[in-house]
Amino acid sequence: MSSRPAQLRYRGEADCRRSACRRATRALDVALLDSTIARLLPSVPRPLVERISRRYIAGPTLADACRTVARLNAEGREATVDVLGEEVRSVEEALAIEAEYRRVLETIEAEGLSSNVSVKLTALGLKLDFARCRAGLEAVVSDAAARSNFVRIDMEDSSATDETLELYSELRGAGHENLGVVLQASLRRTVADVRALAPLRPNVRLTKGIYVEPPAVAFGEFEAVRANFVKALEELLAAGCYVGIATHDEWLIGEGLRLVQEHGLERDRYEFQMLLGVREELGETLVRDGHRLRIYVPFGEHWYEYSLRRLQENPRVGGYIAADTVSRMLPGGGSRRPSSSR
């Protein structure tokens, strides 16, 4: 029905199939290289890790996060701020994270920044005490509502999916409208979750999912995850949900653009989302074309432990970062700019 926006469909279908074959034959080598990078990381000097991480993490303090958000806002991007600190070990630590989120919301308002917040439930004590976690989340969500702001619950590994969706549904049922959730296209259950949540018309960030999960729980094939992403997105849009299309995969961005166009959605009825420092040229194209783009901005004192854990949990991310870092060191690297699409 609609013609596909050419500028972001860099790869056509045949191209995608060819690259899927190439990917399959190279997959083993790449996986080995990625896990080697992840294993070697703890021996990489901390200042070097810090230099590389600087691109992906705003810094240790809230002031660092605010500076980053202000810069993004000036470039036409919105933000969502994440306080690093998942898997807390005590209720006191969970309370400290809750207090930090309230400080973030207060500062966003005071500085007139365009940003909401993203919260990991394990950082609010999900694995320690469900009731405590619920109370902490409700306090943050109420604080955000008083400031006309919004809270997104990040999705963690599949051991937390049931409780996360339960808490989300409970708080929405209790009348908290300024609360969103994340669904992961890599999980086999996701389309069923979309259908179960549909009566709430949830505000959903749709991602591939970063955690390495067992085959019984998640699709392993790259193309199966993509297909499930498109299916979940179709169902979310058909149910009238606001979706944050969170991916750096150009093909999926093209599919997202096709679907929002097919649904005749105005620009304020959906958004794209990306991680800080990742595929900035793609983001620039989206913003230039008038789409809303939100950037995920993590900050916190424990950036080093967070970076190492993330990279070791999912070696593929280490491979992406190594490839990106090397390409920036090559002549012309990092200065690529997309051609104008207008």
Ligand X SMILES: Cc1cc2nc3c(=O)[nH]c(=O)nc-3n(C[C@H](O)[C@H](O)[C@H](O)COP(=O)(O)OP(=O)(O)OC[C@H]3O[C@@H](n4cnc5c(N)ncnc54)[C@H](O)[C@@H]3O)c2cc1C
Query: What's phi and psi for 202, nearest 5 deg?
Result: -70, 150
Our CB check for ligand X shows the closer of 26 and 90 to be: 26
Q: Does 304 bind ligand X (CB under 6 A)?
A: no
Q: Does 246 bind ligand X (CB under 6 A)?
A: yes
Our CB check for ligand X shows the closer of 130 and 320 to be: 320
Task: Quickly tell me which residue has 């806002």 as its tokens.
Answer: 73
Q: Does 321 bind ligand X (CB under 6 A)?
A: yes
Our CB check for ligand X shows the closer of 88 and 185 to be: 185
Q: Which of 183, 97, 171, 182 minimizes the C-alpha distance to 141?
A: 171
Quickly list H helices, the chain. 13-40, 46-53, 62-74, 91-110, 130-146, 161-173, 190-197, 222-238, 250-262, 280-288, 303-313, 315-329
Q: Does 210 bind ligand X (CB under 6 A)?
A: yes
Q: Does 273 bind ligand X (CB under 6 A)?
A: yes
Among 85, 125, 209, 256, binds ligand X (CB under 6 A): 209
State the DSSP code for 57. Answer: S
Tokens of 318: 């280490």
Return the exposure string of 226-240: e unless at least 16 CB atoms fall within 10 Å of the residue's CB, then b.
Answer: bebbbebbbebbebe
Our CB check for ligand X shows the closer of 247 and 285 to be: 247
Q: Annotate each residue in 128-167 with x if it binds ligand X (CB under 6 A) or - if it does not, as one string.
A: --------------------------xx------------
Min dist CB 278 to ligand X, Å, is 4
Which segment (28-36, 162-170, 261-269, 320-328) binds ligand X by CB under 6 A? 320-328
Alpha-carbon span 73 to 118, nearest angstrom: 17
Which segment (8-16, 29-37, 143-151, 271-279) binds ligand X by CB under 6 A? 271-279
Strand 78-83 and strand 115-119: the pairing is parallel
Could you give the residue numbers annotated as active site?
154, 205
Tokens of 229: 């992403």
Our CB check for ligand X shows the closer of 337 and 342 to be: 337
Q: Which of 146, 66, 153, 167 minimizes the C-alpha distance to 118?
A: 153
One-letter amino acid of 183: L
- Say how many residues touch ligand X, by CB under 6 A: 24
Min dist CB 46 to ligand X, Å, is 19
Our CB check for ligand X shows the closer of 66 and 185 to be: 185
Q: Does 248 bind ligand X (CB under 6 A)?
A: yes
Our CB check for ligand X shows the closer of 29 and 92 to be: 29
Alpha-carbon span 96 to 139, nearest angstrom: 13
Min dist CB 276 to ligand X, Å, is 9
Q: Does 184 bind ligand X (CB under 6 A)?
A: yes
Among 130, 320, 322, 338, binds ligand X (CB under 6 A): 320
Min dist CB 13 to ligand X, Å, is 17
Alpha-carbon span 144 to 121, nearest angstrom: 16
Q: Does 207 bind ligand X (CB under 6 A)?
A: yes
Alpha-carbon span 283 to 289, nearest angstrom: 10
Integer distance in angstroms from the first to the last C-alpha of the chain? 22
Binding site for ligand X (CB under 6 A): 154-155, 182, 184, 205, 207-211, 246-249, 273-275, 278-279, 296, 317, 320-321, 324
